[in-house]
Copies of this chain bind each other. A is one copy, B any other.
Amino acid sequence: MPEPIPDAAIAAIVAAGRRMDRHNWVPATAGNFSVRLPAGRIAVTRSGVHKGFLAPEHVMVVDGEGRPEDPALRPSAETLLHCGIYRRFPEARAVLHGHSVANTVLSLHAGGEILLSGYELLKAFPGLPTHEATVAVPVVPNDQDIARMQQGLDARWDSLARSGTAIPPGYLIRGHGVYVWAETMDGALARLEALEFMLECALQDLQRRD
Which A residues are closer than 8 A to B by beta carbons? 23-24, 27-30, 50, 99, 101-102, 104-105, 108-109, 118-121, 124, 129-132, 142, 144, 173-177, 186, 189-191, 193-194, 196-197, 200-201, 203-210
Which residues from B are CB-within-8-Å of A108?
A: 118, 201, 205
* Interface contact A120-B30, CB-CB below 8 Å: yes
Per the bound structure, the CA–CA distance linking A146 and B89 in Å amounts to 33
Which residues from B are CB-within-8-Å of A201?
A: 101, 104-105, 108
Residue in contact with A131 in the complex, picked from B119, B144, B204, B207, CB distance below 8 Å: B144
* Interface contact B194-A131, CB-CB below 8 Å: no
Taking the closest CB of chain B, its distance from the CB of A38, in whole angstroms, is 26
Closest 5 pairs (CB-CB, A-B): A120-B176, A27-B193, A28-B194, A28-B190, A27-B197
Report copies per complex.
4
Complex A-B: 23 CB contacts under 8 Å = A27-B121, A27-B196, A27-B197, A28-B124, A28-B193, A28-B194, A28-B197, A50-B190, A99-B197, A101-B204, A108-B205, A109-B205, A109-B208, A119-B175, A120-B175, A120-B176, A131-B142, A131-B144, A131-B175, A131-B176, A203-B208, A206-B208, A208-B209
Per the bound structure, the CA–CA distance linking A30 and B131 in Å amounts to 13
* Interface contact A101-B200, CB-CB below 8 Å: yes
Per the bound structure, the CA–CA distance linking A105 and B186 in Å amounts to 26
Per the bound structure, the CA–CA distance linking A182 and B102 in Å amounts to 28
* Interface contact B205-A105, CB-CB below 8 Å: yes
Per the bound structure, the CA–CA distance linking A144 and B27 in Å amounts to 32
Taking the closest CB of chain B, its distance from the CB of A141, in whole angstroms, is 10
Taking the closest CB of chain B, its distance from the CB of A83, in whole angstroms, is 19
Per the bound structure, the CA–CA distance linking A99 and B123 in Å amounts to 13
Which residues from B are CB-within-8-Å of A132?
A: 144
Which residues from B are CB-within-8-Å of A196?
A: 27
Which residues from B are CB-within-8-Å of A176?
A: 119-120, 131
Per the bound structure, the CA–CA distance linking A210 and B114 in Å amounts to 14
Taking the closest CB of chain B, its distance from the CB of A110, in whole angstroms, is 11
